[in-house]
Chains A and B, each alone.
Chain A
Amino acid sequence: MSIEHLILRVVIKIMFAPILLFALYVQFHGDFGPGGGFQAGVIFAVAFILHALIMGLEETKRVLPVGALKILMVVGFLFYAGTGVATMLLGGNLLGYDAIDPASTHHAGQHWGILLVEFGVGMAVSSTMVMIFYQFAGREPEIRDEDW
């Protein structure tokens, strides 16, 4: 390994896990403060984008393969839509979370529903963002030297 970008590499390695954790914190505290699935997803994706910028796209693709991302995109979205369908099957309307726990007096169903759909949003957004980055970064640049 060259030491030319050692500073960047070391700092990215140190920051990687905290950024992920911050993303998850934002994800799960969307009920209480600002944030939620979308923001969390973006932050989560940035951790991987940084990883790819420093360690190289191939290395990041090894950590998070394109196929897995595709599945995550779908699963994330279906988490949301599936929650809606589940409430339909449980006798409510689409996304009527009260059907999840109709007996609860303090609307536990709402809380669960929101948690589930936010999780779906986070998953879908993060995987989509990383996927978009892969697509952009994974291309032979067309910028020519004389244009530079």
Chain B
Amino acid sequence: MVGPIYIIAIALGLAFFLGFFGKSLKDVSAFLMLAGLAFMTFISGQWLLAFFNGSVTTQEIFTAGFRPPYSINLRMGYEEAVMTTMINVIGFLGGVYMFKRLKEVGNSAMSVFIVLIMSLNVIVMTRDLFNLFVFVEIGSIATAGMIILEKNSKSLQAGLKYLMATGVISGLLLIGIIFAYYFAGSLNIDGIITAHVGVTKAGAVAVFLIIAVLVLELKPFPANGWGLDVYQSAKPGFGAIVSAATATAGLYVLYKVLPMGGETWYPYIVLIGLITFVGSNLVGTRQKDANRLLGYSSIGQIGLVMTVIGLQPILGSKFSFIAFALLLNHYLAKAGLFWLSGIIKKEKISDWYVLRKNKALLILFVIFIFALIGFPPFPSFFGKYELIMSLVSTENIWIAVLILLGSFAEGIYMFKWLGDVLKDEDQTEESLNISWNKFIPIVIVGVSLLAAGFYSTPYVEGAHYFYFIPLGFIVFMGLIDFLPAYVKNTLSIAGMTYYSYIIYPLVEGDLMRTIFFVIFMIGGILTLIVGYNKKGKREGFYPVALMMYAGLATILTSDSMFGFFFGWELMTAGSYFLIIRGKRSKPHAYSYMLFSVAGAYLILLGFAFAYTSAGTQDLIALKDIAVYTTLAYTLLAVGFMTKTASLGLHIWLPGAHGEAESDVSPMVSAILLKAGVFGLMLLFLYMGQQTGETLLFVLGWVGAFTALVGNLAAVFQEDAKRLLAYSSIGQLGYILFAIAMMTQLGWLAGFTYVINHFLFKAILFIVVGGIVVRTGTHNLYQMGGLLKKMPFSFVAVLIGIITLAGIPPLSGFAGKWLFYNAVVLKGWYIQGVIVFFAGSIAFMYAFKLIHSIFLGQLKDNHRNIKELSPAILIPAYILIGGIIYFSAYPQNVLEPIGNMLSAYFPATVDWSGDGLATTVLSYWNGNAVLIIIVTTFILVLAYLKLITGKTTKLEQFNIAYSAERPFRPETTHVSYNMFAGLNKAIGFLIAPGITRFWKNISDMVLDLAGFIRRLYSGNGQVYAVHIIIYIVIFYFISLG
């Protein structure tokens, strides 16, 4: 084993040695630099490996051969091995990345770089305070030097500000150190810890100065303007080093010296970390410059790790995993993003769309963003999950809430950025110039992130490697993305079928899960069939679609809160990418994501409370929660309602579903929304009995109003797909209302609605989506008369809207029948009336839909239109088969459900007759109704056919007034503003008040961010003043 001391010897020897080399030998010296960095990595890596195997114990390195405190000692333990390896790896990769630039500037630049990395190693290893000071200074000077690798005035200014700030800071550090020596008689950190200098006032001040300075080195918000300038103006290649390596060392030092002050200091570190995490991310929301934004994000993430360090006494045995997961995640993701920035070479984040020129880099970018926000399967997901669980279960609820707030703020700008990258108008032809030395480090950190996520699994209760199986398949699909669409479609269907087969045993015994299994998996396969309609390669579609289904499958099969949440986030990520594929989807996908992230955090909090009360991660534990019942229930309910788009939380849905691709709309509408319903049902079923009636009552009202507003908005839509989207909101309102009644009948109605909505919304979106593509317009008034051109589509839509409107004989009526029985039995009359009214409105848009598309006059440009392709019609007709079966034999489905429900609710429906359902109020026979109605219908049709000869056939004609075309031709179309009267009467109900509400909130946040960031005046001296003020305030809070 090579001793860690050789890290210093090699680096310094090499740095001095490079001085011998003239300009002609730059290649040799650059090679030597890389070799040196590689050797340093090797040294720390072999120690890490040895510690990992347990073959060595912590080593103390005594310099000069004397014991501490008489001489300086370094320590190489497991933690130090991890940290130095991290630093050296990023140093080596950074060296590779900046290879050309360093060579250009010359040997001295290489020396400075290698010395910087070495100094960070020593900072981690040293146990001597003054030695720490010396190497911190080395780090500062080297950093100030590396800033000006970017040769412009801005970087010079940043360099000076940085030197000023660190100058003030290190002066104060020196005062702290010398007085620590004065009181403890030692410069050794361990010696000072055992001396307990903090017991006297003056000793406490000395320790305070040291801790405050080390905190300031980590650039806490808001005394960090100088740090931000460094991030913004330095070469991105170097920004990665500052963000990843320097921060790692700084955090470790803080962790190392904190025990000097004793337990009392930890809460203050938590406070500082939280302020930094929330504040920095908040201000970041206003940032347009990519590197500065990364700076804000870096500081935020460092603040988060700082918080965790402060939480060490609270987190106990989980501390190491959480801190390391979050640190590693930041380290890899931020280095990757900075390096990407060096390739993109665009200042504005809105100009990053050039990233789309290179698929691999685009995917890496996405990985980094999702890792930073904490999505699965990245380490931060595991870390944050454990963190929130531990915080809530130790009653540190506000810390958990603030951490989630900060994460959300980070999401605001990260997803904005992601949206810009994925969708922004491509304005240039320029291609990306990528050299291998820049590309490979980014790939390495990206892959490491995935691997790190995978290896986080055993550290979290409830996590299984099983969850990674579909992810592996997704990666495979991503690798074969160059194949034509139909091949990938077939593979996807095969993969999904096989996976469904694997997981079926897991859901088999549970009827509710089985129903959702059918919706998610069978429905998923059916909607995938529609994909055969698409030509070309359809790049990027299959991995994300499968990601959504993988998430849904995980939700279904998991029996732990962790698994559920894992699946939930996976599904959210997949659906986000699906939605953003639509042409005009950017803003809608953005708001979908923000609502989803917020919802997910509520769910996480809810689970955390449940976990606190139940003491286990098992989902089933929700059933008997003693404390926090209402709180957990409410959080979970609201969280799930973001996905079901309940009133107030619905504003993302119309755009997201309406603008999505033609086969994505059915996926997200018919299937994805049911994930929220599944969550709600699970919640209500497990916890509904324990919580008070009031909450259910409120939820019932929310459901009723959601139904009303959704349906009403649908009526006034001119856009066919938006109409269907609003209709989904309304339908999900019914479902919420039905299950909130918490009676057997209500739940039966709810299940019926779930099944129906899945069936008919899938049909409608599949077919209408196909028609929208065929006609080339979303607008209903630009369609018409397609009946003869597309008869099969017409029948499909007809059956769809019959079910939707709840008209006999189809199963929609069954839902209604159960529903009204349930309402009457429950006694929720007023709400019932509202829902009833909403139901009648549904007739109106159903009529508008089918009338505008299929009836009336055929448009000139549609004369040669063809029927939809079989790839669309076959799945639609399979679903129609489902409707017919469910309409004819509802008891086959509903009776088992009723039986299952009777375990939870008193039975109110009797299934004794053959196909006859009886309640105390009335009875209903699905088969009979179907047979009677169909017979009648056929009779009427036959009669009409008989009298057809007597009708007059009219020729088509154009609309013209006095030989003029109307100014806006669409205004004369019957379906344009079809229900103007209704709009006049009750249209105010759907005035965009809720949209305005959310917009006001977001404006307020942005204004606040804009106000706070005025602190960063750009003046280096002001930043120095900030530092002093920060220290003074910190002093008064902690010791004053």
A and B are interacting partners: no
